Amino acid sequence: MKITKDLYQGSLTLLTDFYQFTMAYAYWKSGKAEEEAVFNLFFRKNPFQSGFTVAAGLDYIIDYCRNFTFCEEDLTYLAEMRDKMGEPLFESGFIKYLEKMSFSCDIDAVEEGEVVFPNMPLVRVKGPLIQCQLLETPLLNIINFQTLIATKAARIVLAAKGDPVMEFGLRRAQGIDGALAASRASYIGGCASTSNVMAGKLFGIPVAGTHAHSWIMSFDQEIEAFEAYAEAFPDNSILLVDTYDTIGGVKNAIKVARNLRQKGKKLAGIRIDSGDLAYFSNKAREMLDQAGFPEVTIVASNDLDEHIITSLKLQEASINLWGVGTKLVTAYDQPALGAVYKMSAMKGKDGEWVPKIKLSQQSIKINIPGFHNVKRFYSGGRALGDMIFLEGTSDKSLETIIDPVDPTRRKRIDSSIAESEVLLKAIFRNGEKVYERPSLKAIRNRVQERLGKFDKTHKRLINPHIYPVGLEESLYYLRTDLVLKAKSLDSQ
C-alpha cells in the first residue's frame, strides 16, 4: 500500500516524542546504542468494557519501518537544536551516526484482525537499543488508534446481527490521518463500506453513500428532488425521507419507486436520519410492503453505536442497513486504548537474555519480563485460553495459566490433547521484511473467523465473561522472584 509514501512526501522518522531522541543520544554517548534489547507493545485493559480487542495497524508499521531512515532535512533540524546555553544539543558525531543508521530490528507481531487480550504482546521488537527506543512512539500511535477503532467496529457489527454496517464518519473524524486510519480499521472490524472516497482509493474499501438534506432543499418540492435523484441514479437510489416529514417522505419515495418500476428499475432504499427510528422504520416498512415494495432497504443513521443498535433490535425496528459515523470513528465512549511499550530483556555480555522488571505500586503496571511469546489453546476449534511464555520453555503435557494481576485465577490445560498456536508471527528479520502481507479483505475475514472461535459469553457487549489470559507457571515465578529482588534492593 505504501501508505506513508502516498500521504506524505519525505521521511516520518521524526514522528516521535522528543525524549526518544534525548534517550537515543544518551545511549550513543554512553556506548549503549548497539546493545541488544527486547521491547513489547501491549495493553492492560480491553476498551469499551469489551470482552475482547481486535488488533489492527500492522500494515502501517511495516511501511513505517521500511522507511525508517533520516533524510537530510531531518538531520539538519536535529543538528540545529540548541540547549539552554545556546550550544548544539546533539554532537555532530551523533548526527552522523543517525545518518548511517540502517533499520536492523527483528519484529514479531500478532496479525491484523487477530482477537487479542490484555497483557499479551501485540508487537515484539528486538534489536539495537537505540532503534527499539526510537520506534516506541510511532508504533504506539499506530496500534493504539487502529486497534481501538477496529474493536469498536467489531462490536457494532456484532450488534447489527448480520445486517451490513456503513462507516461514514469522515466529517467527524480527528483530522485527515484519523479519518483514513479509522475507515481502514472500521473495515477490518467488519463494516461493509465507507463514505470516505480517499480510503476507497487507497485501501480498496467499497464506498457507499446517499444524499444530504441540502439536495432536497435545493428543489421547491421534495418529490421533485427524489425524482431528479432517481433519474441520475436509477439503479442505486437511496432517498433521505426525513427532511420535512418522515411519513410524507416515505409516501414520496413510494411514488418514485412506482415510476422506477415502470422503467424496469428498482428503488434501492430509503434512509431515516432523525426521530424515533424504531417507530418510523416500522411504519415505513408497513407502507412499503403494502405498496408492493418489500425489497426496498431501510437505512438508519443518527449517532448510532452498538448500544443503540441493540436497543433498536430489541424494539424489532425494521432496519436493514446501519450508517454509523461519529461514535465509531472517534471511539466516542473511550478515546484511547492505552497500549504501552516496555523493555522486557537485554542481552548480556555472555550472549544470554537478561530479563528486566519495572516495579509499580499498582500490580497491573508491573511488566512481564523476559523474551516471551503467546500461545493460544483450542479444543474442537473453540479457544480455551492464552498463555504468555518464555521462548523455548513451554512444552509441558499439563500447562497452568496464571493471571498476572490476580494469581488466584488459574486455568489448567491438558496440552497433550488441546491444539495450540503461537500468535506472534515473524514480520522483520535483521531489518528485512519476511512477512507476506494479506489483502485488507482477508484481514477483515480473519476477524470474523477468529471471533467465531470464542464463546458467545466473551462477546457480550455488556458484562462479558472474562477470557483466561495469563503467564506460564515458570514465567509467573520468574516475574515474582524479580519483583521481590527489586523490592529488596530498593529497601536497602
129 contacts 34 by C-beta, under 8 angstroms: yes
Q: In this predicted model, what pLDDT tens digit does every residue of 8-28 receive, in sequence order?
A: 445 789 999 999 999 999 999
DSSP category for residue 272:
E
In the numeric block, the cell 453513500 is attached to: 209
* Residues near 89 by beta carbon (within 8 Å), at least 6 away in sequence: 25, 81, 82, 83
- Residue 472 pLDDT: 94
311 membership: H or E segment, kind and range:
helix 306-314
139 contacts 125 by C-beta, under 8 angstroms: yes
- Residue 415 pLDDT: 83
Q: d(Cα 367, Cα 363) in Å, to the nearest integer?
A: 9
103 membership: H or E segment, kind and range:
none
Mean pLDDT of 18-39: 97
Q: How far is CA 428 from CA 200, 334, 434, 468, in A?
A: 28, 32, 5, 29
Q: Does the pLDDT value for residue 6 go beyond 60?
A: no
- Residue 4 pLDDT: 45
Give the alpha-carbon dihedral of 186, 140, 339, 117, to 10 degrees. Answer: 60
Closest among 458, 438, 435, 427 to 46, alpha carbons compared: 458
Q: Does the pLDDT value for residue 35 go beyond 70?
A: yes
Q: d(Cα 91, Cα 99) in Å, to the nearest integer?
A: 13
260 contacts 234 by C-beta, under 8 angstroms: yes
- Residue 1 pLDDT: 47
Q: Output the nine-digit C-alpha cell for 62.
A: 511495516
Is the dihedral angle over the CA atoms 97, 98, 104, 106 positive or is it negative? positive
Q: In this predicted model, what pLDDT tens digit does every residue of 141-177 receive, in sequence order?
A: 999 999 999 999 999 999 999 999 999 999 999 999 9
- Complete edge-to-edge strand list for the sheet that includes strand 398-402: 410-414, 398-402, 469-472, 382-390, 372-379, 419-422
Closest among 342, 355, 299, 357 to 324, alpha carbons compared: 299
201 contacts 175 by C-beta, under 8 angstroms: no
Q: Does the pLDDT value for residue 339 go beyond 70?
A: yes
Q: How far is CA 24 from CA 17, 32, 62, 66, 133, in A?
A: 11, 9, 22, 20, 7
411 contacts 468 by C-beta, under 8 angstroms: yes
Q: Does the pLDDT value for residue 492 go beyond 90?
A: no
Exposure string over 399-408, b if 16+ CB within 10 A, otherwise e: bbbbbbeeee
- Residue 463 pLDDT: 96
Q: Could you tell me the fold of the domain covering 156-329? A: TIM Barrel (3.20.20)
Q: Output the nine-digit C-alpha cell for 304.
A: 448510532
Q: In this predicted model, what pLDDT tens digit does every residue of 85-133 receive, in sequence order?
A: 999 999 999 999 999 999 999 999 999 999 999 999 999 999 999 999 9
- Residue 7 pLDDT: 52
Q: In this predicted model, what pLDDT tens digit does every residue of 346-384 receive, in sequence order?
A: 999 898 999 999 887 777 788 999 999 999 999 999 999
Exposure string over 349-363, b if 16+ CB within 10 A, otherwise e: eeeebebbbeeeeee
160 membership: H or E segment, kind and range:
helix 129-160
Is the dihedral angle over the CA atoms 32, 119, 368, 347 positive or is it negative? negative
232 contacts 260 by C-beta, under 8 angstroms: no
Q: Output the nine-digit C-alpha cell for 207.
A: 464506498
Query: Residue 41 — φ and ψ, nearest 5°?
Result: -105, 125
Q: Output the nine-digit C-alpha cell for 256.
A: 418514485
Q: Output the nine-digit C-alpha cell for 392.
A: 523455548
- Residue 5 pLDDT: 47
Q: In this predicted model, what pLDDT tens digit does every residue of 382-441 receive, in sequence order?
A: 999 999 999 877 667 678 999 998 999 999 999 888 999 999 999 999 999 999 999 999
HEC readout, 9-27: CCCCCCCCCHHHHHHHHHH
Q: Where are the beta strands (DSSP E) in 403-468?
A: 410-414, 419-422, 425-429, 432-433
385 contacts 411 by C-beta, under 8 angstroms: yes
CB atoms within 10 A of CB 201: 11
Q: In this predicted model, what pLDDT tens digit does every residue of 267-303 receive, in sequence order?
A: 999 999 999 999 999 999 999 999 999 999 999 999 9
Q: Does the pLDDT value for residue 194 go beyond 70?
A: yes
The full DSSP string for 24-43 is HHHHHHTT-TTSEEEEEEE-
Q: Does the pLDDT value for residue 183 go beyond 50?
A: yes
List the chain domain ranges: 156-329
Per-residue confidence band for 488, with pLDDT thresholds at 50, 70 and 90: confident
